[in-house]
Amino acid sequence: MATKERWGTRLGLVLAMAGNAVGLGNFLRFPAQAAKNGGGAFMIPYIVALIVMGLPLMWVEWTLGRYGGQFGHHSAPGILQSTARGRGWKYFGVFGIWANLIIAAFYVYIESWCLAYAGFSAIGGFRDTPAKEFYNNLIGASENNIFSISIWGMGVFAVCIVLNVFILSRGLARGIETVAKIGMPILILFAAILAVRGLMSQVGDEGVVESPFVGLNFVWEPKLDSLANPAVWLAAAGQIFFTLSIGIGSIHCYSSYLRAKDDIALTGATTAWTNEFCEVVLGGTVLIPIAVAYLGLSHVADPETSGFALGFLSFPTLFQKWGWLAAPAGFLWFGLLFVAAITSSLAMGQPIMAFLQDEYGFDRKRSALAFGGMLLLLAVPVAIFEQKSFFDEFDFWGGTFALVVFAFGESILFGWVFGMDKAWAEMNRGAELKIPSIFYYFIKYLTPVFLFFILAGSIFQPKAGWDAYSNALFKGEEMPAWEWSGSGVIGKILHKDIEDSSDPQKQAFNEDLKLVRTIDRLVLVGVFLFFSVLVYFAWKRRAAEGRLAT
Amino acid sequence: MNHMTLSAWVFMLTVWAIVIGCAAYCFYKLLTSERQLDDDDNEDDTASRTAG
């Protein structure tokens, strides 16, 4: 059954699409990645990756979505199938609904933390409670325990799930678009206020140990020698992936509600540059400068310090130095993170709802409830087990690896199976912005090659880092022995990120962790198979109803 | 302000100028465009074609 939903306005669509892209990564991940990978020099591979891979893939996904929408498809299986006209692509398209559910299961959990932190900040709770203590209570953390249960943490999580389901049940224009129209300006305003206030801090103010401009310098000082390091290029490409929400299936879904002659070139570019504004200009000016001002450069420069830890464990305490502004600042910071998160999580629900509506005739409310039910099933283990198990595994397999696999597949589909000439004509139909013809060659050749290297780089990852091998080849340094890194696909499969411990309690925990991880990988495979079966029966049903042309 | 090196300023302002310039240009074109999403209701609607 085809849905008749439509976007209300172009601006609403742009803000909803930008809301999908602007997420926690813009404010927590980007500044930490930039600082860790060469400062200003990181921006060179970052911008190269944006132009060679990010923008082309974004236009590819917009085009695929709009094209599939003409056949009444609003989720990746149908969109890819109608593009390729081949039997197997609908199953590859399962990635485009599976990944959304897997990501939503842990992403909405983080969203609930933002909500809890925002509320606690607003009532001035961090005056007396250290952020670390609040965080541990929120997630129910206890050392060497495979379970991590917090009743009130799960309560806030449930509130967020209900909120997502409620907004989704209101539909595209009245739900998602309305939230984006309200949320995006608020997010930009909150970030701008924090950035300006943070940069106004001076040595001599209470608690300020360094100028925030030292932090800004740390983010932007170009360390050009880092350009020779392949790991920096991989990190930049990875960041572009996360920030534009490529390879998930949500862009396809949103653009599938456009008409055949609606512009996608200008609309797509506008969402991408809005996201870049939120990431590069706002995201790069809040977290690191404020953290450096109050914690010092040496603390922030520590490679072990992540943007996530700074944002959740350090910021609430730092804000207490801002006097009467402490509570509002905490609310602004976690409020903006919450808005960034919810506009993204809504985009994860819509493709699953669209699939159920298109293929099984669900109405909007029923499909929203079905999404909520599926989300709840996966959310429970995320919330009750220690973060290194379900939470991290969902993040890695659904939120990292699957995106690259899906994007690589769709780039081949678009440029080579659909045919680049046809694809280019489809992309430029109704365009209000002339896409430079160089992108024709980028999409056909460069983007798949770039993605291939990212995919290979994420599968085969050495513990010593690629830079060690690059130095051995080009600088004559000693060649390190090969060992799999725990952050690569093969290393993950082999549990290389869990190190044996001489402490019996810790070792027992490690064994429990390996067992739970094996279970959650089975869950991941099971969910994928579940959607594949739904796709199989949906197409049988289409065939029986005579809704297949081939 | 003098805690930043010249090269950091140059990098930051160059990238900011590119990002803000592109975003502003796109929004200008979008908001001054006379075309809206519902301009042509007669074209192919969803489910008007059938395909695998």
Chain B residue numbers touching A221 (CB-CB < 8 A): 4-5, 7-8, 11
Pair A256, A74: CB distance under 8 Å: yes
3-state secondary structure of A385: strand
Question: For the residues A286-315, what does the mean pLDDT come to?
Answer: 88
CB contact under 8 A, A40 and B37: no
pLDDT band at B44 (very low <50, low <70, confident <90, very high): very low
Tokens of B12: 């930051």
Burial A175-205 (b: 16+ CB within 10 A, else e): bbbbbbbebbeebbebbbbbbebbbebeeee
Does the CB of A433 have a partner CB in chain B at under 8 Å? yes
Question: For the residues A482-509, what does the mean pLDDT come to?
Answer: 93
Using the Cα atoms of residue B6, residue B12, residue B15 and residue B17 in order, give the sign of their dihedral: negative
Chain A residue numbers touching B26 (CB-CB < 8 A): 266, 269-270, 273-274, 433
pLDDT band at A304 (very low <50, low <70, confident <90, very high): confident
Does the CB of A550 have a partner CB in chain B at under 8 Å? yes
Q: How large a percentage of chain A has pLDDT more than 90?
A: 82
Residue A169: its H or E element: helix A151-169
Residue B20 distance to chain A (closest CA, Å): 6
Place of tokens 């933390």: A113
Tokens of A543: 């065939």
Name residue A385's beta-bridge partners. A147
pLDDT band at B45 (very low <50, low <70, confident <90, very high): very low
Nearest to A269 by CA among B30, B39, B38: B30
Nearest residue of chain A to residue B1 (CA atoms):
A213
Tokens of A353: 């709802």
Question: What pLDDT, on a 0 to 100 scale, did the predictor assign at position B1?
Answer: 63
CB contact under 8 A, A87 and B29: no
Nearest to A441 by CA among A125, A18, A82, A52: A52
Digit-coded pLDDT (tens) for A168-218: 999 999 999 999 999 999 999 999 999 999 999 999 999 999 999 999 998
Pair A451, A408: CB distance under 8 Å: yes
Using the Cα atoms of residue A359, residue A361, residue A364 and residue A370 in order, give the sign of their dihedral: negative
pLDDT band at A466 (very low <50, low <70, confident <90, very high): confident
ipTM above 0.95, yes or no: no
Does the CB of A451 have a partner CB in chain B at under 8 Å? no
pLDDT band at B46 (very low <50, low <70, confident <90, very high): very low
Digit-coded pLDDT (tens) for A140-170: 988 889 999 999 999 999 999 999 999 999 9
Distance of CA A38 to the CA centre of its chain: 22
Q: Which of B20, B27, B50 sits opposite A281 (nearest CB)?
A: B20
The H helix count followed by the E strand count for chain B is 1, 0
pTM for the full predicted model: 0.93
Digit-coded pLDDT (tens) for A337-350: 999 999 999 999 99
Does the CB of A105 have a partner CB in chain B at under 8 Å? no
Does the CB of B13 have a partner CB in chain A at under 8 Å? no
Is residue A3 predicted with pLDDT exceeding 70?
A: no
Burial A10-47 (b: 16+ CB within 10 A, else e): bbbbbbbbbbbbbbbbbbbbbbbbbbbbbbbbbbbbbb
Q: Residue A30: CB partners within 8 Å, gap ≥ 6?
A: A239, A243, A279, A280, A283, A284, A307
Q: Rounded CA gap, A469 and A483, in Å?
A: 12
Is residue A239 predicted with pLDDT exceeding 50?
A: yes
Question: What pLDDT, on a 0 to 100 scale, did the predictor assign at position A549?
Answer: 57
Q: Which of A14, A222, A266 sits opposite B11 (nearest CB)?
A: A222
Is residue A4 predicted with pLDDT exceeding 50?
A: yes
Place of tokens 């060179």: A44
Chain B interface test: which of A177, A225, A258, A259 (most B C-beta within 10 Å): A259
Question: What pLDDT, on a 0 to 100 scale, did the predictor assign at position B39?
Answer: 56
Pair A354, A370: CB distance under 8 Å: no
Chain A residue numbers touching B44 (CB-CB < 8 A): 70, 259-260
Digit-coded pLDDT (tens) for A436-448: 999 999 999 999 9
Does the CB of B6 have a partner CB in chain A at under 8 Å? no
| Phi, psi of A463, deg, nearest 5 | -60, -35
Is residue B50 predicted with pLDDT exceeding 60?
A: no
Residue B18 distance to chain A (closest CA, Å): 10
A-to-B residue pairs, Cβ atoms closer than 8 angstroms:
146
